[in-house]
Each structure stands twice: as structure tokens, then as C-alpha cells.
């Protein structure tokens, strides 16, 4: 298993404010009161105060579980059946030696043709985990997965029910349409925070003026949601080169209201005609 992703975030060090010396974390033995090296450190589980059960890497490797030494594939499921919130870090899987190349390739081709995700179990960092297998190019990727009981219920975080006007919903749908694309745009896949940190470090290093964020509305301030949505739609359309002219569209409801007056006159005219029609047979009966 090889990590399929890289972290390009800036890593900050802690330092002493007084003299800028690095702050380091060192491990001490509480009995001998001295610093110990990694080779002198083991792991164990404290079952009670002062009672520790030592656990070695060999103990974990020899556990009577098939997943302790191998990835056990247990099922194949449609991708849409897996809740994305359960999918975690991804790892490229590599064949373990020449003898594993053919079965590795067989599994990759089967996954590609079957168009399903493989569900696996494996031991990793001190516990058994679930994994999701998928293909990427000529390689197989396995994502670690959360167990069902590790997913929090959204009920405790969801806001209380609130009425949403149809106009705001229509504007929100218009914004979604304006931002809809077949793939994730390239200009979106840029870590602006990391770029801002780089600019900040460069400015401080060269003694230049530090960049500052534009002032924003205070948190919790009441805003015109309809106006904010409309502004977002206009920005999205402008970014895609579409026309942002909508004055005529907003005037249309007024024109429709004005058009109702002549319709009312026509209805009145029809009623008058019906009355005249009723009088005609009466004349005929009188003549007869």
C-alpha cells in the first residue's frame, strides 16, 4: 500500500517567542528521568493503574486473522450504494512480487469490466478496517472506509425546519444551472489558501507590505438572500461569457398584470351576447 495522495500544505514549526529557538517534543522515561530513543520505546495497553500489557509488532502480525497479512475481498457493490462520507484516504496497491502480477492484472480487468467497487477487509495501524477497491489507469486503488458506527447522525446538527419562498428556490436553481459543468473546472482546483500563505511568507521575508483580506459583513448579519442569490447568478453567467441582461425578465410580471384588464372586458362582452341570444327565441315565439 502506497499513499495515493500528497499533502502540499505548509508545515509550521513551534518556536520560543523570546529567542526564536525551536520547540521540540522529546520523550522521557518517567522512572529514569531521561530522554529515550525510538529503539527503546514499545507499545502496550493499560488494563489498570500501573498494570500494562506489552504488545509487540510480532504479536500483531501473528494474529489469527486472514486480514492481518492480506487484503480480503468480501463483496462487489455498485458505486452509488457507498455513502461518500465513509470513504477516506486512498492507497495505490502494488503486486507483491512477480507471482502476484497476473492475479493483480486479472482483478483490475475484472473491476473495469464489471463497473463495480470491491469491498475488502484489511488490518492497518492496529485495527481491522474496511476498504473500497477501484481502478485508476492500470493500477488498483484502495480507499480506507469508516465503519457504520463511526458516522455521526446528521439529526443533531441539522437546523430546525424553515419556510423557503419559491422565488428564492428558483433563484438557487438558476445558480446551480449557471455553475453546472461536465467536469470540475481547472481554475477551481487551485489551493488559494496555500498560495496566500506563500505570499505571506515571501512578504515577511522581504519586508514588504503584508496582504490583507477584504472586509466582509459581520457573521450573523441579516442579508437579502434573494439579492445575494441573484448577484451570484450574474457573476456565474459573466464568468461563462453569458449575457447578464435581465431587466426585461424582471419587468414581465408587471406586464402580465396589466394584460388582465382587456381580458375582463371580453368576458363581460360574452355575457351581454348571451342575454341577447336569449331574447331572440322570445321574439320568434311572439311572432308565431
Strands 2-3, 43-48: pairing is: unpaired
Low-confidence ranges of the chain (pLDDT < 70): 216-223, 246-288
Q: What is the pLDDT of residue 285?
A: 42
Strands 139-145, 72-77: pairing is: unpaired
pTM (2 d.p.): 0.61
Q: What is the pLDDT of residue 246?
A: 56
Architecture of the domain whose range is 66-149: Beta Barrel (2.40)
Other beta carbons within 10 angstroms of residue 110's beta carbon come to: 13
Q: What is the pLDDT of residue 279?
A: 44
Please state, in angstroms and rounded to a whole number, the distance separating the CA atoms of residues 189 and 200: 21
Q: What is the pLDDT of residue 220?
A: 59
- φ/ψ of residue 74, rounded to 5: -115, -20
Contact indicator for 119, 131 with CB cutoff of 8 Å: yes
The domain limits of the chain are 66-149
Amino acid at each position: 500500500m502506497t499513499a495515493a495522495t500528497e499533502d502540499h500544505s505548509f508545515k509550521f514549526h513551534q518556536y520560543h517567542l523570546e529567542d526564536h529557538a525551536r520547540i521540540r517534543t522529546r520523550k522521557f522515561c518517567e522512572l529514569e528521568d531521561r530522554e529515550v530513543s525510538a529503539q527503546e520505546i514499545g507499545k502496550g495497553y493499560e488494563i489498570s493503574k500501573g498494570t500494562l500489557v506489552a504488545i509487540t509488532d510480532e504479536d500483531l502480525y501473528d494474529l489469527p486473522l486472514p486480514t492481518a497479512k492480506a487484503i480480503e475481498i468480501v463483496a462487489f457493490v455498485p458505486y452509488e450504494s457507498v455513502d461518500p462520507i465513509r470513504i477516506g484516504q486512498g492507497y495505490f496497491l502494488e503486486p507483491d512480487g512477480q507471482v502476484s502480477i497476473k492475479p493483480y492484472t486479472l482483478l483490475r480487468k475484472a473491476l473495469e469490466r464489471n463497473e463495480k467497487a470491491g469491498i475488502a477487509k484489511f488490518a492497518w495501524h492496529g485495527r481491522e478496517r474496511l476498504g473500497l477497491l477501484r481502478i485508476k489507469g492500470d493500477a488498483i486503488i484502495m480507499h480506507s472506509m469508516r465503519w457504520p458506527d463511526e458516522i455521526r447522525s446528521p439529526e443533531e446538527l441539522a437546523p430546525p425546519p424553515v419556510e423557503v419562498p419559491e422565488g428564492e428556490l428558483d433563484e438557487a436553481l438558476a445558480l446551480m444551472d449557471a455553475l453546472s459543468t461536465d467536469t470540475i473546472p481547472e481554475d477551481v482546483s487551485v489551493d488559494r489558501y496555500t498560495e496566500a500563505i506563500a505570499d505571506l511568507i515571501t512578504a515577511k521575508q522581504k519586508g514588504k507590505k503584508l496582504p490583507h483580506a477584504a472586509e466582509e459583513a459581520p457573521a450573523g448579519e441579516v442579508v437579502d438572500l434573494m439579492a445575494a442569490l441573484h448577484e451570484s447568478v450574474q457573476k456565474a453567467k459573466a464568468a461563462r461569457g453569458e449575457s447578464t441582461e435581465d431587466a426585461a425578465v424582471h419587468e414581465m410580471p408587471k406586464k402580465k398584470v396589466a394584460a388582465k384588464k382587456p381580458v375582463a372586458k371580453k368576458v363581460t362582452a360574452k355575457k351581454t351576447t348571451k342575454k341577447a341570444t336569449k331574447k331572440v327565441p322570445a321574439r320568434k315565439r311572439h311572432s308565431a
